[in-house]
């Protein structure tokens, strides 16, 4: 039976792919559950184990776990299908239940978004108008995870960019509304691994935001 270091849900593009890329660069074995028909050519080039499956189907999530037998797992599932079903809630909840049924796992990280949970009331009216549906769906998944017996962490990145990685990010226990600017997706992947590898973030939520100018000057 295959036993990989990391299983990823939602890794065919964006932060998920960058997580796979960074893990492989460190020599970790990686498996990914990808929807049938997804472009998996870049993942195959990385040497990633691919299992076809749809996160809307709990048995598919369970099969991906059986095939990979991972030590740790991360879900970055988000968005909705043409029928309007949001994988942010339904898909992530299936992943959580599959992990509960799977048995022992060292750590599970769920990626949601700045503005989820207790942060929602602090969002602007425009943010709630355009992102509210997604934020509420992600919050539903967060709440299911909190009630589970899994060894979990939650990461909530703010706005994302495709800029090169710069290390210009920080992990916060609470959102800082005074901070502005986008965080590079590659930096979000790095920050997610920092949470995954740090026991201090177990059963806690980490918000990923951009460093302030003074923080960058202090580091320099």
What total number of domains does the chain contain?
1
Under the banding of pLDDT at 50, 70 and 90, the label for residue 53 is very high
User: Which pair of structure tokens corresponds to residue 90?
Assistant: 């339904």
Contact 187, 165 (CB under 8 A): yes
Please tell me the predicted confidence (pLDDT) of residue 1.
58
Strands 183-184 and 160-161: parallel
Q: Give me the residue label for tokens 């339904």.
A: 90
CA distance 65 to 70: 7
Q: Is residue 160 part of a domain?
A: no
- Domain residues for the domain of 34 are 6-155
Evaluate if residue 133 carries a pLDDT over 80: yes
In what helix (H) or strand (E) does residue 206 lie, and over which residues does it extend? strand 205-210
Decide: pTM greater than 0.85. yes
In a domain, 119, yes or no: yes
Average of per-residue pLDDT values in the chain: 93
- Asked if the structure places residue 85 within a domain, the reply is yes
Burial class of residue 201, CB neighbours in 10 A (0-12, 13-18, 19+) = buried
CATH of the domain at 120: 3.40.50.720
**Per-residue pLDDT band at 140 (split at 50, 70, 90):** very high
pLDDT class of 83 with cuts at 50, 70, 90: confident
For 204-214, what is each residue's pLDDT tens digit?
A: 999 999 987 66
162, two tokens: 């495709």
């Amino acid at each position: 039976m295959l036993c990989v270091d990391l299983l990823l849900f939602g890794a065919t593009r964006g932060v998920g792919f960058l997580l796979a890329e960074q893990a492989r660069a460190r020599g970790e074995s990686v498996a990914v559950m990808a929807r049938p028909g997804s472009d998996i050519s870049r993942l195959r080039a990385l040497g990633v184990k691919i299992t076809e499956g749809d996160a809307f189907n709990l048995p598919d999530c369970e099969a991906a776990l059986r095939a990979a037998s991972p030590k740790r797992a991360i879900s970055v599932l988000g968005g909705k299908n043409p029928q309007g079903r949001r994988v942010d809630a339904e898909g992530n909840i299936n992943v959580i239940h599959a992990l509960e049924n799977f048995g022992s796992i060292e750590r599970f990280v769920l990626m949601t978004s700045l503005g989820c949970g207790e942060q929602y009331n602090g969002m602007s009216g425009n943010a709630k108008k355009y992102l509210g549906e997604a934020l509420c769906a992600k919050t539903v998944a967060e709440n299911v995870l909190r009630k589970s017996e899994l060894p979990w962490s939650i990461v909530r990145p703010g706005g994302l960019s495709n800029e090169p990685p710069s290390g210009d990010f920080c992990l916060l226990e609470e959102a800082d509304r005074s901070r502005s600017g986008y965080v590079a997706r590659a930096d979000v992947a790095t920050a997610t691994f920092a949470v995954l590898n740090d026991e201090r973030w177990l059963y806690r939520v980490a918000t990923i935001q951009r460093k302030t100018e003074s923080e960058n000057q202090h580091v320099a």
